[in-house]
Amino acid sequence: MRDIRRQSIISALIIYFGFAVGLLNTYFFTKENGNFTAEQYGLTSMFMAIATLMMAFSSMAMPSFIFKFYHYYADHLPVRKNDMLTWSLLVSSIGFLLVMATGWIFKDIVIRKFGEHSSLLLTYYYWIFPMGFGLTIYTILESYAWSIGKPVVTSFLKEVEWRLLTTVLIVLFAFRIIPDFDLFIKIYAFTFPGIALTLFLYLWFTKKIAFTFTISKVTRRYLKKIAALCVFFYSGQLIFTISQVFDSIVIAALLDDGLSKAGIFGVAQIMTSVIQAPQRSIIASSITHLSRAWKDKNKEMLQTIYKRASINLLLFAISIFSLVALNYREAVITFHLKDVYLLGFTAFIFLGLTKVIDLGCGLSSQIIVTSNYWRFELISGVLLIVLMVPSTYFLTKEYDILGPAIANLFSITIYNTVRIYFLWKKFGLFPFTKKSAYAIGIGGLAFLVCYFLCNNIHGIPGMFIRSILFLLLFGGIAYMLKLSPDVQPVINTIKQRIIKKKIN
């Protein structure tokens, strides 16, 4: 747990620094009298959404293969004979070629669906493919890096370097070194190939990877199990990814001025993704330990990780959601963003509550994925897509950009409930304790106090006062009640280091 805690904290700090850069980028994209229209910003959001969908199809479940079987390869093969990454990259590259062919064959269908409301997307349709390929290769390398215990590196590349590359492009565009949006979006398409290359070079020069086309004894021994796992997880990954990007695609396809509204919805999603940051770091730090615990049949370790992740993520999620919700409207007005982005506030509330629920449920998905009952991930994923796709479609037509947010809250709540029940019934694993209820109650109370006391204080002083007051109330009470088992060890470590420095 000490190693998980250390890596999670470092990764979380890196991720939040990355989000700070991302928020700066969002400001430049959305500010009043800025260089970008809402439609152009919406296009960048759609690039990422469609590239993510391409990655899901082309990766062919190779990340799941790496997570599940890494220890079997690492325990029985030296690095130079480990063929896991070779086959993962080869299979994913072939998968992407199939995606490209499909995209070319069915372009007319895309034109019919997006031509009326999002014509700019069609202008740059083929430029999405480089970003999709870069994201595919990066995801495979990232999965391998997580498995060898390098989550901090991948967090920096994906959360910081990628956003800094975008910042550089924005600055160059602002100073007309990049003369127009046409060149901007074309270079933007190659940002993910850029970070994929960086990660590859890091793994290569640190001798963490090697390539061999000789089929190893591990591959031969487990080939049937690997194939069965990949077939199931491929479907599951497609389902999960579709659930993540379907809302933006539906908005762009169905609503008038679709790309602009996708941009408004995208701002709400970015604010929501700030809530999700700790989950990324804990998943990256925990996945290899969960895999090892299942391999060693260490149920006690699984339960410990499950409960600790749940309460820590719940505390983080409540904190960040409340801070953003308290200051969302004020930030749009104070920093002179286009007024149209105020329309995303209500969508943020529903999306934010969705993330609070999702994070509070801990590492349910990762525990299932690394177990021998990984097939259940597909079953629960089918349930998610059955709930989400029709509800998103009809609610979007009825309630505009608020519809997908409501559909997300409804679908994800049921999805997580089913998975928690499965783990409790099958293995006796359960993420919640009475501390979970305390966290929710304290968070709600602190939010209401800050809202009613500081609602009439505007500008930067208002945002500062609301934020500090909430952190003092929620953080102080949570600390006194010892809701998180990991806060005190961190404080003790910091004290010890300060004492050592004073002695030295």
Q: Which of 87, 85, 194, 227 is nearest to 145 (CA)?
A: 85
Distance CA 413, CA 228 (A): 29
Here the tokens at position 136 are: 């595919």
Q: What number is the average pLDDT over the span 342-354?
A: 92
Of 133-137, 239-243, 468-472, which range is least confident? Answer: 239-243
Whether 419 and 306 have beta carbons less than 8 Å apart is answered as no
Of 4-8, 58-62, 398-402, which range is least confident? Answer: 4-8
In this predicted structure, the answer to whether residue 52 has a pLDDT above a threshold of 60 is yes
Residue 165: predicted pLDDT: 95
Q: Which of 442, 447, 268, 293 is nearest to 366 (CA)?
A: 293
In this predicted structure, the answer to whether residue 46 has a pLDDT above a threshold of 90 is no
Q: What number is the average pLDDT over the span 86-112?
A: 87
Burial of 81 (0-12, 13-18, 19+ CB in 10 A): middle
Of 5-14, 274-283, 358-367, 479-488, which range is least confident? Answer: 5-14
Distance CA 217, CA 397 (A): 54
Residue 463 banded pLDDT, cuts 50, 70, 90: very high
Whether 427 and 291 have beta carbons less than 8 Å apart is answered as no
Of 79-83, 370-374, 383-387, which range is least confident? Answer: 370-374
In this predicted structure, the answer to whether residue 194 has a pLDDT above a threshold of 90 is yes
Burial of 419 (0-12, 13-18, 19+ CB in 10 A): buried
Q: What number is the average pLDDT over the span 4-16?
A: 68
In this predicted structure, the answer to whether residue 503 has a pLDDT above a threshold of 70 is no
Residue 231: predicted pLDDT: 80
Residue 97: predicted pLDDT: 95
In this predicted structure, the answer to whether residue 437 has a pLDDT above a threshold of 90 is yes
Here the tokens at position 253 are: 């396809």
* pTM for the predicted model, two decimal places: 0.76
Residue 324: predicted pLDDT: 92
Burial of 213 (0-12, 13-18, 19+ CB in 10 A): exposed
Residue 468 banded pLDDT, cuts 50, 70, 90: very high
In this predicted structure, the answer to whether residue 254 has a pLDDT above a threshold of 70 is yes
Helical packing angle, 299-334 and 402-427, nearest 10°: 170
Whether 305 and 289 have beta carbons less than 8 Å apart is answered as yes
Residue 185: predicted pLDDT: 96
Q: What would the DSSP string read from start to end of 384-413?
A: HHHHHHHHHHHHHHHHTTHHHHHHHHHHHH
Distance CA 400, CA 392 (A): 10
Provide the sign of the torsion angle of the four alpha carbons 485, 491, 494, 496, taken in this order: negative
Reported as half-sphere exposure (CB side, CA atoms, 13 A), residue 319 has a value of: 19
Q: What number is the average pLDDT over the span 277-304?
A: 80
- Residue 498: left (phi > 0), alpha (psi -120 to 50), or beta? alpha
DSSP, collapsed to helix, strand or coil, labels residue 255 as coil
* Amino acid sitting at position 32: E
Distance CA 429, CA 394 (A): 36
In this predicted structure, the answer to whether residue 491 has a pLDDT above a threshold of 80 is no
In this predicted structure, the answer to whether residue 79 has a pLDDT above a threshold of 70 is yes
Here the tokens at position 339 are: 């007024």
Q: What is the pLDDT of residues 163-173, one digit of tens each?
A: 999 999 999 99
In this predicted structure, the answer to whether residue 6 has a pLDDT above a threshold of 70 is no
